[in-house]
Amino acid sequence: MWAGFGAVSEVTRRSPMASLRLTNIRPALHERLRARAAAHGRSPSAEALAILEEAPEDRAELPTMADIDALRVRGRAPLTQALIDAARRGGRR
């Protein structure tokens, strides 16, 4: 399967291992990959594989609404205009 205008193309079915071909990589991104690969003592292809292997583990699940609700600060009393006015007056002293 070939991607329409670049990016990632899968080229397999002949070997037991899948292959990817990256095309249309911006020069700056390619240079960053080469530098990272050199720092890790790997080829750019091996570095790209290492990045792909780490990627799923890096992604955290998005919080649910219940998780977000649990993080909310619960006040002791409902916020009223009187409390807002008192806070404003207190800040001007």
**Cα separation values, 44 from 5, 11, 18, 58, 66, Å:** 22, 18, 17, 20, 42
Which 8-state DSSP code applies to residue 55? H
Per-domain boundaries in the chain? 7-91
pTM to 2 decimal places: 0.46
Which 8-state DSSP code applies to residue 7? E
Tens-level pLDDT at each residue, the chain (93 residues):
444 445 555 555 566 788 888 899 999 999 999 999 999 999 999 999 999 888 766 567 778 888 888 888 776 777 889 988 988 988 765
